A and B are shown apart, each in its own frame.
Chain A
Amino acid sequence: MSKALPANLEQIEINLKKLTNQRTRSSLLGIAILILVFFSGTLVSLEANAGSFGRGIANFFNYPRDLFVDTFEMGWKYWPRVVKYIPELITTINIALFSTSIGFVLAVIFAIFSSRNLIRNKRVIQFTKFFMDVTRSFPTLIIAMVFLYLMGKSSLPAVIAITIHTAGALGKLFTEAIENCDGKPIEGLSSVGATWTQKIRFSVLPQVLPLFLSYGILRLEINVRESTILGFVGAGGIGEMLAALIQWNYGADVLACMFLLVGTIIALDYLSAYWRHNLIGVNQ
């Protein structure tokens, strides 16, 4: 080296090396942990699983193939079958839509009472947040099964379970939305002597409503899936029908229900993306 190096170059290099080493070490540690988790998980699965992994892979296409073969055997008579299950599908969607609406309203109330910029009392905030945590964390299935046991077979347990879960899940998102909203409009309204309700109505709500609706639509999509699953344990709708058909081994009908479900979910997926884009895409 002909040119004189800056005095601290050596130090810089040492630091760089230290940093690189540290990064490599933490990445390797992370990868090691992941591999450990993977292998121990696989061991647990191999021990707990009834059938072997290899045979499962080999058998994977058997069931779908049976379903399709059954369907092809029916020929054109198949389509009336598909139409036959539409009322069940409507029940499922009805459960989802109704409980999402009720859950939405509850979530707005929870969110208002757990937002730091609207409520001064810390106890109230903590309690509401804890309450939402609990309602959100219970799988809907567990709530629904308990209520099914208590009330007998009907759609009501599904409605109750999905409403409870939706209230907690949306409430958390709504709280974040309210806490992140602009404080200036609230100050402006305070300066003209607005009451607490007026402040919420005219400064918070206009800011967060598009976001709320967007989250609500997303939730509706999730809830249609949930209500199908709850049907599976006896809450009515297409899920219950599907469970029965699988028991009876009516391949063609099973496939019909599956088609209806997949079609609905994909349609809702696109529809909700479109609505949400309309709601918040323009503003941002």
Chain B
Amino acid sequence: MSSSLAIERDNIRKLFPDTFNQARKSRIKGQIIFFLILIYLIIGFFTLDVVDIPKKWKPQNAAMFVLDTYAHKDHVTMKWENPDDIKIAFEGNYRSVYGRDNLDKSIPEWFYKNSDNIGNVIEFNNEGKAILYKDRVEIVNFPKYDRDFTIKLNTNGKPYVVGSEDLAKDDLKGFRITENRVEFRPTLHERVQVYPKKVEIHRYSIGWKYFWFDFSSPLEPYSFFEALGLTFSKERVVPEMSNLKLFLTEIKDNEAFMHGRVWWAMLETIVMAVLGTMFATVMALPLSFLAAYNVTPIKALRFTLRRLFDTLRGIDFLIWSLIFLRAFGPGPFTGIFAIGFTDTGTLGKLYSEAIENTEKKQQEGVQSTGASKFLQHRFGIIPQILPIFVSQSLYYLESNTRGAVIIGAMGAGGIGLQFLGALGTGNDFENVAYMAILVLAVVIFMDRLSAWLRRILIGSDQLIVR
């Protein structure tokens, strides 16, 4: 059976030698291209320092970054010279101190007097405790540790772990001991640091605290839904304004998450994208007719317009935004015009190609009724290209939303700049995460919106090219 197949195969080879040789040739060509690409990738790996990823990647930094995006921490600070004055502050911010600046702000329940009525207990979420005394810090009850620890200051005023000489290295895991500091960090969520001058304890909890109402807000004791329920009650939380107004202003002026500013910035970015796309569409529509050979007989005009489109597109929106930034200053106008100018080029080119690809018969049909040139274009061409126009413009709306974020970060304002600012401060990572999620949501929303509009306007959500 197999031999007869082989004979058959040889016969076919003999009958069509050209086909088989060609196939082999193109296969070799493909292989050569494949190897060239492989060589390039290897070179790229070295020239772009991809091999350095393990070296550059600082897992400690990344872990802190990720931890801070979904968790918040409270700082407890005690100075050795004044052990009665223990300060508990949210994120270590001097403006958010529990139990001091605003007296009705109660001390959190995880901080209490020890049963011996001398020490102060900080209870962590894993039930481990740090107990502060006048002369020592005790670390007790931590899971996965079968003994308790005591940290004291020695006669030179330097911190040390009592009895650490007798302990094996494995028993002291989680400790980092240097001359001026003893740090105990069993997991990322608990951190006890003892310095010659003070003790600082960081207690992490998961979640975005003060997302709706900030630390000093009168509505802070209530949850979001409780506060929403309060807006219907007549009893005022603060005498100055109604509950609804208070509710809205407190959310808007939230100091931690800055909802008012972030949403305003987001609105600016959306305005940039929408108006920029509208501007480009309005500009490109007449120009594309003038650049299409079946509408405009003047060759010089067509050529000039084609090159104009190329130039507008070629000067990327980066450079346009730099130029407009100098003219208009930071603000949405810069973004609108940068997007508008670039996309006039892109859309103009696409539109004029679409016009040139229209069916000639319809125009001729209108012409046969004795219609003027204008009416021929109105009823012969526009109905054919309108779906393409709408589809292209809406498609660019989504990518322009992303573009507007970038232009914003260049200095035009909007959410891009806010994001850059939050990242630059180096400790507001929950804001970074919040804005990143917001941008993601808005871009996906714009994507869905433009797909939906395409579906109801032209019956298909696919991009029609021609």
Q: Does chain A bind chain B?
A: yes
Inter-chain contacts of A149 with B (CB < 8 A): 65, 423, 426
Inter-chain contacts of B329 with A (CB < 8 A): 49-51, 56
A53 proximal to B (CB < 8 A): yes
Q: How far is the CA of A150 from the CA of B61 in the complex (A)?
A: 6
Interface residues on B, range: 35 or more
0 or 1 for each of B277-306: is its CB under 8 Å from A? (1 = yes): 010000000000000000000000000000
Please report which residues of chain A, range 232-259, place their CB below 8 angstroms from some CB of chain B when the two chains form the complex.
232-233, 239, 246, 258
B41 proximal to A (CB < 8 A): yes
B62 proximal to A (CB < 8 A): yes
Checking B310, B333, B410, B444 against A232 with a beta-carbon cut-off of 8 angstroms, the contacting residue is B410
Contact, CB under 8 Å: A56 / B65? no
Q: How far is the CA of A102 from the CA of B38 in the complex (A)?
A: 11
Contact, CB under 8 Å: A101 / B40? yes
Inter-chain contacts of B61 with A (CB < 8 A): 150
Beta-carbon nearest neighbor of B436 in chain A: A142
Checking A50, A94, A137, A261 against B331 with a beta-carbon cut-off of 8 angstroms, the contacting residue is A50
Q: How far is the CA of A123 from the CA of B120 in the complex (A)?
A: 52
Inter-chain contacts of A239 with B (CB < 8 A): 318
Count how many pairs of residues, one from A and one from B, have CB atoms less than 8 Å apart in the complex: 172
Checking A42, A150, A262 against B319 with a beta-carbon cut-off of 8 angstroms, the contacting residue is A262
Q: How far is the CA of A38 from the CA of B183 in the complex (A)?
A: 58
Beta-carbon nearest neighbor of A50 in chain B: B329
Contact, CB under 8 Å: B409 / A233? yes
- Chain A nearest CB from B448 CB (Å) reads 10
Q: How far is the CA of A48 from the CA of B311 in the complex (A)?
A: 30
A134 proximal to B (CB < 8 A): yes
Contact, CB under 8 Å: B333 / A49? yes
Contact, CB under 8 Å: A37 / B264? no
B241 proximal to A (CB < 8 A): no
Beta-carbon nearest neighbor of A267 in chain B: B314
Checking A42, A51, A225 against B275 with a beta-carbon cut-off of 8 angstroms, the contacting residue is A42
Contact, CB under 8 Å: A225 / B318? yes
Q: Is the interface of B mostly helix, strand, loop or mixed?
A: helix
B16 proximal to A (CB < 8 A): no
A269 proximal to B (CB < 8 A): yes
Contact, CB under 8 Å: A228 / B333? no
Contact, CB under 8 Å: B271 / A41? yes
Contact, CB under 8 Å: B447 / A225? no
Contact, CB under 8 Å: B315 / A262? yes
Inter-chain contacts of B29 with A (CB < 8 A): none
Beta-carbon nearest neighbor of B409 in chain A: A141
Q: How far is the CA of A282 from the CA of B177 in the complex (A)?
A: 71
Contact, CB under 8 Å: A53 / B333? yes
Interface residues on A, range: 35 or more
Q: How far is the CA of A140 from the CA of B419 in the complex (A)?
A: 13
A111 proximal to B (CB < 8 A): no
Beta-carbon nearest neighbor of A95 in chain B: B48
Q: Which of B52-60, B142-150, B208-216 contacts A (4 or more CB under 8 A)?
A: B52-60
Q: How far is the CA of A96 from the CA of B52 in the complex (A)?
A: 18
- Chain A nearest CB from B93 CB (Å) reads 21
Contact, CB under 8 Å: A50 / B330? yes
- Chain A nearest CB from B312 CB (Å) reads 11
- Chain B nearest CB from A30 CB (Å) reads 8
Taking A38-B275, A42-B275, A48-B268 as contacts, is the C-beta distance between A142 and B313 under 8 angstroms?
no
Taking A101-B40, A156-B52 as contacts, is the C-beta distance between A45 and B436 under 8 angstroms?
no
Central interface residue in A134, A232, A269, by most chain B CB within 10 Å = A232
Please report which residues of chain A, range 47-103, place their CB below 8 angstroms from some CB of chain B when the two chains form the complex.
48-51, 53, 56-57, 59-60, 62-64, 94-95, 97-98, 101-102
Contact, CB under 8 Å: A97 / B319? no
Q: How far is the CA of A265 from the CA of B310 in the complex (A)?
A: 10
- Chain A nearest CB from B442 CB (Å) reads 9
Inter-chain contacts of A261 with B (CB < 8 A): 316, 318-319
Inter-chain contacts of B410 with A (CB < 8 A): 229, 232
Q: How far is the CA of A233 from the CA of B436 in the complex (A)?
A: 17
Inter-chain contacts of A246 with B (CB < 8 A): 322
Beta-carbon nearest neighbor of A165 in chain B: B402
0 or 1 for each of B386-415: is its CB under 8 Å from A? (1 = yes): 000000000000000010011001100100
Inter-chain contacts of B278 with A (CB < 8 A): 34, 37-38
Checking A42, A97, A137, A139 against B406 with a beta-carbon cut-off of 8 angstroms, the contacting residue is A139
A44 proximal to B (CB < 8 A): yes
B420 proximal to A (CB < 8 A): yes
Q: How far is the CA of A265 from the CA of B327 in the complex (A)?
A: 24
B432 proximal to A (CB < 8 A): yes
Q: How far is the CA of A62 from the CA of B62 in the complex (A)?
A: 44
Contact, CB under 8 Å: B310 / A57? no
Could you show 19 A-B contacts with beta carbons less than 8 Å apart?
A37-B274, A38-B275, A50-B331, A50-B413, A53-B328, A56-B324, A94-B44, A95-B48, A137-B440, A140-B406, A142-B436, A145-B420, A145-B423, A150-B58, A151-B58, A225-B318, A262-B315, A269-B313, A269-B314
Q: Top 9 A-B pairs ranked by shortest CB distance? A: A49-B331, A51-B329, A56-B328, A50-B329, A98-B44, A45-B332, A63-B326, A266-B314, A137-B443
